[in-house]
A and B are shown apart, each in its own frame.
Chain A
Amino acid sequence: MEFNSNKSIYLQICDVICENILNGSLAPDARIPSVREYGAEIGVNPNTVMRAYEKLTNEGIIYNRRGIGYFINPQAKQIVLKSRRKEFLENELPEIIRRMKLLGIDPSELDIR
């Protein structure tokens, strides 16, 4: 995994899992790798992965079956969609609008299909 952005690694791990929930590659009740498996796979400290899993658990996106592993909550997609839309409207869109103003791009020039 490439870490480029300046977000902390545990949040970037959350982002990747949420992205995979949205695009359907992680289906409801699918098992995700254990903390150590995932850490070994991406070369990240297991405690960092644990922190990401704890955050996702608290948000109801994944759930833990003790001794078996972590799974995608059946409601995960709705939860992720809701928070990602909010994130887009509150943070990403204003940035895009700011860039458009800076570059002098009128909304009518956008070719949205």
Chain B
Amino acid sequence: MITIKDLGFSYGERNVLKNINMTLEEGRIYGLLGENGVGKTTLLTLLCGLKKPQEGSVDADGHTPFKRETELLSSQYYLSDDVATVNMKAIDYAADYGRFWEGFSMEKFVSAMKDLETDPQLKMNKMSYGQLKKTYISFALACNAKFLYMDEPTNGLDIPSKAQFRKAVTKYTREDSIIVISTHQVRDLENIIDPIIILDRQDVLLNATIEEISKKLHFDYTNNRRPDSLYSEMIPGGSIQVSLNTDEQDSKVNIEALFNTVHLHKELIKGIFSK
């Protein structure tokens, strides 16, 4: 489990994160959403220990990430948004660097590369951005990490790879892992991210499972105007309207509409989701 307590971080004068409190549970794939500049990447780098909390603390299974103890480092992986080119074949890179992770599996790496249709014999500095990204994604999945943080992993992926990515995230990760994926491309990750965390300027607006969200909010896709809707958006063939789910109706959560609803009604949403 990851416990984040009163976490604060600023860049000079600019406060980015303040009073962040959250727990992240095993066996879940968290989707970390938020507008540009709210500190998604900062939060991920604090979780993996690349940055030191200025206020509060992060605890990952009893470890303080910033101490960078081998035991934790060998069971976590952070995939950054921009990936480094290396003058090495992908397969050699995996063999050389994979040994730092306790559970690294070459077999998984090769299999994930195959799923993502990337040749592991290619030199990484001769790859396109997408191929390089897929190499690092395969590497991240092959680490068998308990803690896996991915910053915008679907950026730069071609269309077939996005579907492959969704499948690979479940196929190659361990059952008890805590996965946190930050993204703007919610459509790329729809159906895979659950719970949803929505980060705002110095605030966490939402941290809830899809089940909890669908219990509290109703997503209406019909053409019937609902005067009580919190948010509505025209789509081809009708509209999406989000309202409070008062009569326990089941509906499909649309993450984009959820995001916009939460931003329009910050305090209301925080109120109905706080236990």
Contact = CB atoms under 8 A, between A and B. Distances in A.
A45 B219 CA distance: 20
Interface residues of B, number: 24
A6 B175 contact: no
B174 to A, nearest CB: 10
Contact of A7 (B171, B211, B252): B252
Nearest to A39: B170
A42 B167 CA distance: 7
Interface string A20-61: 000000000000000010011111111110010000000000
B89 interface: no
B19 interface: no
B170 A47 contact: no
Most buried by A among B194, B214, B219, B251: B194
B83 interface: no
Contacts of A7: 250-252
Interface residues of A, number: 19
Contacts of A36: 170-171, 175
Contacts of B170: 36, 39-40, 43-46
Contacts of B166: 43-44
Contacts of B191: 3, 9, 43-45, 48
Contacts, number: 58
A-side interface mostly: helix
Contact of A48 (B27, B163, B210): B210
A46 to B, nearest CB: 6
A40 B219 CA distance: 26
A6 to B, nearest CB: 4
B28 interface: yes
A5 B252 CA distance: 9
Contacts of A8: 210, 214, 250-253
B192 interface: yes
Contacts of A42: 167
A3 to B, nearest CB: 7
B250 A11 contact: yes
A39 B29 CA distance: 12
A40 B171 contact: yes
A41 B253 contact: no
Nearest to B254: A6
A41 B250 CA distance: 25
A91 to B, nearest CB: 13
B221 interface: yes
A40 B253 CA distance: 20
B108 to A, nearest CB: 13
Most buried by B among A36, A39, A42: A39
18 contacts: A6-B219, A8-B210, A9-B191, A9-B252, A11-B250, A36-B171, A36-B175, A40-B170, A42-B167, A43-B166, A43-B167, A45-B170, A45-B194, A46-B27, A46-B170, A46-B175, A47-B194, A51-B211
Interface of B: 27-29, 163, 166-168, 170-171, 175, 191-194, 209-211, 214, 219, 221, 250-253
Q: Which 7 A-B pairs have the closest CB atoms?
A: A43-B166, A40-B171, A6-B221, A40-B170, A39-B170, A45-B194, A43-B167
